[in-house]
Copies of this chain bind each other. A is one copy, B any other.
């Protein structure tokens, strides 16, 4: 049986491909696929409005090789950066609690 961490890694792979296969290159997210992904999968973390400018901004930030698409490596970098930001917040709260005692 897989561990929780292995299932989390599997989830990242499956979710990327769920969106990347919708149109165009099936191994990359284009702007429409990225927008749909952000709206449906990161609702708690990002309050993503349907404004095109915001999706454009995120695409520009993620698209390291400037092909106007997000590949799996670029996608994982985004998930990693968001997870690190969440962890920083979590640790900060824990440390605050510690000093309140």
A: residues with CB less than 8 A from B are: 2-13, 15-16, 27, 40-45, 72-73, 76-77, 79-80, 82-84, 86-87, 90-91
The one of B6, B41, B72, B84 in contact with A5, judged by C-beta atoms closer than 8 angstroms, is B41
Please state if B77 and A3 are interface contacts (CB–CB under 8 Å).
no
Bound-state CA distance A13–B85 (Å) is 11
Sample of 13 further A-B pairs with CB below 8 A, known A7-B11, A80-B80: A3-B41, A3-B43, A4-B41, A5-B15, A5-B42, A6-B43, A6-B44, A8-B79, A9-B82, A13-B83, A13-B86, A13-B87, A13-B90
Bound-state CA distance A55–B79 (Å) is 26
